[in-house]
Amino acid sequence: MGGMRTLSLELRPLGLNLEEEAPLVHQVYRGSPGYFTLIGMELPTLEDVLQDLNTLAQDPRRRAFLLFQGPEPLGYLDYKLHYPEEGDATLSLLLIREDHQGQGLGQRALAHLVEGLAGMERLYAVVYGNNPRAKAFFLAQGFRYVKDGGPAIQWYVRPLSPHRFQPR
């Protein structure tokens, strides 16, 4: 276990084999019961996860990833490209397993994601429920609050390219 910290982080794209991938996503969800309590949802079943991933795979703009550092999946994230506008991306969920939260993994996963979004102008984050930790996290990562998108939905945004006015 002593070497864990030196292992590099991998965002593994989902969608190639959902039957194999869904149990891994479900494993991450089962390791994060507090999040589902927080948003007032039952923990999704494996079937729910498979169905959600299937729906997601139908939309070419949506991308889902498992986060690995070593053999165990430690987190999950998904986002949508060119949403709400062309040049935007919107993060729907970044989830780090409870036993691995607060160790910088969320921050590193986000940095990884941002690297992969080269060419996009803005990254939105949609936060559901009363989630002070997520708010603190996104504010600390350079996002600013934009607006409420409903009674329990807050939108945050950060610019992605510091060179957006540079001629191409």
* 34 Cβ neighbours under 8 A, 6+ residues apart: 98
Q: Where are the alpha helices (DSSP H) in 70-131?
A: 105-116
Among 66, 105, 120, 123, binds ligand ACO (CB under 6 A): 105
106 binds ligand ACO (CB under 6 A): yes
> CB of residue 168 vs ligand ACO: minimum separation in angstroms?
30
> Among 7-15, 43-51, 62-70, 130-138, which window interacts with ligand ACO (CB under 6 A)?
130-138
102 binds ligand ACO (CB under 6 A): yes
Q: Are 134 and 92 in contact (CB under 8 A)?
A: no
- Between strands 153-159 and 144-148, the pairing is antiparallel
104 binds ligand ACO (CB under 6 A): yes
134 binds ligand ACO (CB under 6 A): yes
- For 28, the token pair is 């991450």
Q: Are 90 and 84 in contact (CB under 8 A)?
A: yes
H or E element in which residue 13 lies: strand 10-13
Among 41, 111, 140, 153, binds ligand ACO (CB under 6 A): 140
> Among 6-14, 18-26, 49-57, 97-105, which window interacts with ligand ACO (CB under 6 A)?
97-105
125 binds ligand ACO (CB under 6 A): yes
> Among 2-10, 57-65, 88-96, 157-165, which window interacts with ligand ACO (CB under 6 A)?
88-96
In terms of Cβ atoms closer than 10 Å to its own Cβ (0-12, 13-18, 19+), residue 141 is middle
Q: Where are the alpha helices (DSSP H) in 31-67?
A: 33-38, 46-58
> Among 11-19, 51-59, 63-71, 126-134, which window interacts with ligand ACO (CB under 6 A)?
126-134
CA dist., res. 28 & res. 38, Å (int):
16
* Residues of this chain that bind ligand ACO (CB under 6 A): 32, 35, 91, 93-96, 101-107, 125-127, 131, 133-134, 136-137, 140
